[in-house]
Amino acid sequence: MNHHVATDLPLDLQYFERDGLPRHGLPGSAYTSDAFWARETSTLFPRGWTFVGFAHELDRPGDVRPVAVGGRPVLLVRGEDGALKAFHNVCRHRCLKLVDKPGNRGRLLKCPYHAWAYDLNGRLRSTPYFGGSEHHEQEGFDRSEHGLVPIRTGVWHDWIFVNLSGDAEAFDDFVAPLARHLDGVDFSKLQVVGVIDLGVIETNWKFLMENFIEPYHVQFVHATTTDQPLTDHYTVVDGRCLGSAIDVADDHHKKDESANTLAVSSRYLTLFPNFVFGRYFPDQLGVHENTPIGPGQTRQRRAIYTTNDQPLGNDDADALMALWRDVHREDHEICERLQEGRKSDIADGGGVLSPHWENSVRRFQEFVVEAVS
């Protein structure tokens, strides 16, 4: 990559750019400072395809879900034509955040402040008394110019992405580097087991991503929840698809135990910036929704799927959800301590990265620098 980056970055990259192995990581301020967070919210998130939610949660026409992209309010809507749409979640009258909770809103999205109403295509349909006590119209004001502002949207299976700037690469091209690692997944049999709300984690969103794509920590942090020897892992660095993988010799033998441990072949893959996709052989998938809400806070949910024709019984589903809660808790404790450590001046050098196990992390950090430059 091109290491000449804009000099106006709110980051000191002298260690990050130093040549020779092992490479240094990003300085602490990339995770802790308001200035860098402000930079990410004005560049990295709006310019890319940011993952914002699960399509199955907007099933019926009129279903809505407010989400955030780099702190900006965005609204997901299931239209009357069945299509998923995204809009800036802002009333065009006085810019109130239009929808504040998920649910079904019927055919009209009505603003609670002065009752302006929009249809599911975002068209402004009513502006009561805007022109006076007997007039809904106002000279010089054209409703057709004040509809909700649409946002470019891409849906891949159950996963919804938005591109605020409107000029990111074609959506299919964005997804392709991940899709090509998923041979043998039968998406026609995709079934949702459940969605776990993991709450607000006191950590920068990048730590959750970096932690997911390096296999180095697994044997230490997840000693009781997984049985995946380090030697069998390898990293994946393939364009915008970053992650790690493990091939376990005999998945079939382990299948009966798979609800209790993760001793199966797995793929831990991401698409930059924030899409997280786990594949657990033979037929389980997991997707994390990481919503960055500030430099030191990220909301996380996880959807669990199967891709076979055998729906899990309630007990099996509960056991699976419990396992994943435990695994996430282990990762969250680590990520929260990474956040604490980055507040020290010692973190200016960014630590060092194993060229063997953390080249995926290094590439992720290079994408970050590129995206904010």
Burial tier of 170 (Cβ tally within 10 Å: 0-12, 13-18, 19+)? exposed
Told to check if 236 binds ligand FES by CB under 6 A, we report no
241-254 burial string, b = 16+ CB within 10 Å, else e? bbbbbbebeebeeb
Minimal distance, residue 60 CB to ligand FES, in Å: 25
- In angstroms, what is the minimal distance from the CB of 91 to ligand FES? 3
114 binding partner (options Fe ion, ligand FES, none; Cβ < 5 to 8 Å by kind): ligand FES
Compare residues 111 and 264 and give the one whose CB is closer to ligand FES.
111
Instruction: State the binding partner of 331 from ligand FES, Fe ion, none, CB within 5 to 8 A by kind.
Output: Fe ion
Q: Which residues bind Fe ion (CB under 5 A)?
A: 331
CA dihedral 265, 270, 271, 275 (to 10 degrees): 120
- Of residues 127 and 235, the one with the C-beta less far from Fe ion: 235
Does 319 interact with ligand FES (rule: CB under 6 A)? no
Query: Is residue 114 within the footprint of ligand FES (CB under 6 A)?
Result: yes
Binding flag, residue 343, ligand FES (CB under 6 A): no
Select 114 or 222, whichever has its Cβ closest to ligand FES.
114
> What letter would DSSP give residue 352?
B
The DSSP letter of residue 353 is -
> According to the binding rule CB under 6 A, does residue 91 interact with ligand FES?
yes
157: left (phi over 0), alpha (psi -120 to 50) or beta: left
CA atoms of 153 and 166, how far apart (whole Å): 9
Q: For the chain, how big is the Rg over CA atoms in Å?
A: 22
Near ligand FES by CB under 6 A, which window of 24-32, 57-65, 107-115, 213-221?
107-115
Q: Are 371 and 273 in contact (CB under 8 A)?
A: yes
Q: Does 96 bind ligand FES (CB under 6 A)?
A: yes
Among ligand FES, Fe ion, none, residue 157 binds (CB under 5-8 Å by kind): none
Nearer to ligand FES, 113 or 220 (CB): 113
Query: Quick count: other Cβ atoms within 10 Å of Cβ 260?
Result: 13
Which residues of this chain interact with ligand FES, rule CB under 6 A?
A: 91, 93-94, 96, 111, 113-114, 116
